[in-house]
Amino acid sequence: MSKMSTVQGRIVTFLLTLWLVSLLTFVVFQVIPGNPAQVILGADALPEQVAALEKELGLDQPLPQRYLHWVGGVLRGEFGHSLRYRQPVRGLMVASLKVTLPVAGLAFVFIVLLGIPLGLTVGKYHLQKRGVMFSVVTQLGTAVPSFWMGILMMLAFAKLFRFFTPGAFVPWEEDWLAALASLIPPALAVALPKVAVLTRYVSTAYVEEKQAEYIRTAYGKGLAEKEVLYTHLLKNILIPVVTVLGLMTGDILGGSIIVEKVFALPGIGRLLVEAISFRDFPLIQGITLYLAGVVVFLNLLVDFLYRMFDPRIRWSR
């Protein structure tokens, strides 16, 4: 650890991971059994069609050259052309990311805003009956997949709260408020199971931390409970909370991909699933690389946040 925990070391690891992710994303699509052009076009394609597509995909060039060409494009923000839509991959991705990223972002906000207060409350009553019951509920919450949570919410909206039906996504340009509103149910579906996880973490950390002397001192000074909880205690459990939230980012993004299907949102998950069924390899590669890249970047960010929140974890020189 010590060797790699310098700022430079961490950034080298980050770049190395990004490079390997790009290599993996590229190589996986080269081990397709048979000729990729033939696979994409189907068995009854004419040889001329296959040859033309091979040329379009650059399959007539050697492998390293194709990789460099692809990565070079990615570095300039060009992910190649979609085979199905006959459009640049980048434009398609940007359009659908306008749906997926807000869902993931909203889900993250919900997790923090609900999970931390809930966790503190549960921790407070840890030894009482309410706490025990709550921990059973949170344990159950961790077992619920986000897409089924979405299905349950659809059902609840349709049967119980008839005033609002989650459904068609309104484009941002048309009515940004309506667009935001239509993203709240999917974001909640992604968030709720994770709220349970965060609640568990925060409550455990709370129970461990409240024995500490500084808490007694704070109470002894005559501070209000709210102040003790949210300024003194929260600061000290921030490190485990940031760790858990960091580990969750991948799950949030991965959950959003599947939840989009439940709510029929035109996001990156739907784009990816369609691309897979149409064997639109440039599009699949672009989306996969982008999403993995985001996760790698967020991990780096979490690592830097640690150092910000806890001066005890210093960068070694």
Rounded to whole angstroms, how far apart are CA atoms 166 and 183? 9
Interface characters, 293-312, with another protein (x: CB under 8 A): x-xx--x-------------
Which residue from 35, 65, 142, 217 is in contact with another protein, where contact means CB under 8 A?
142
Footprint on residues 264-283 left by another protein (CB under 8 A):
272-273, 275-277, 279, 281
Please enumerate in sequence order all residues whose Cβ is within 8 A of that of 285, keeping only pairs 6 or more positions apart, or say none. Answer: 25, 26, 29, 70, 79, 80
Rounded to whole angstroms, how far apart are CA atoms 66 and 247? 34
Which residue from 54, 56, 78, 251 is in contact with another protein, where contact means CB under 8 A?
251
Size of the site for another protein (CB under 8 A): 51
Contact yes or no for 7/308 (Cβ under 8 A) = no
Which region, left, alpha or beta, applies to residue 70 given φ > 0 means left and ψ of -120 to 50 means alpha? alpha
Which residue from 37, 89, 106, 154 is in contact with another protein, where contact means CB under 8 A?
154
Contact yes or no for 244/305 (Cβ under 8 A) = no
Rounded to whole angstroms, how far apart are CA atoms 299 and 246? 6
For another protein, the closer CB: 32 or 71: 32
Tell me the closest approach of the beta carbon of residue 109 to another protein, in angstroms: 18
Interface characters, 6-45, with another protein (x: CB under 8 A): -------x--xx--xx--xx--xx-xxx------------
Phi and psi of 81, rounded to 5°?
-110, 140
Half-sphere exposure of 142 (CA within 13 A, CB side): 13
For another protein, the closer CB: 37 or 275: 275
Which residue from 53, 253, 265, 300 is in contact with another protein, where contact means CB under 8 A?
253
92-127 burial by CB neighbour count: b if 16+ within 10 A, else e? Answer: bbeebbbbbebbbebbbebbbebbbebbbbbbbebe
Q: Verify binding: residue 127, another protein, rule CB under 8 A.
A: no
Which positions lie near another protein, rule CB under 8 A?
Answer: 13, 16-17, 20-21, 24-25, 28-29, 31-33, 139-140, 142-145, 147-148, 151-152, 154-155, 158-159, 249-251, 253-255, 257-258, 261-262, 272-273, 275-277, 279, 281, 284, 288, 291-293, 295-296, 299
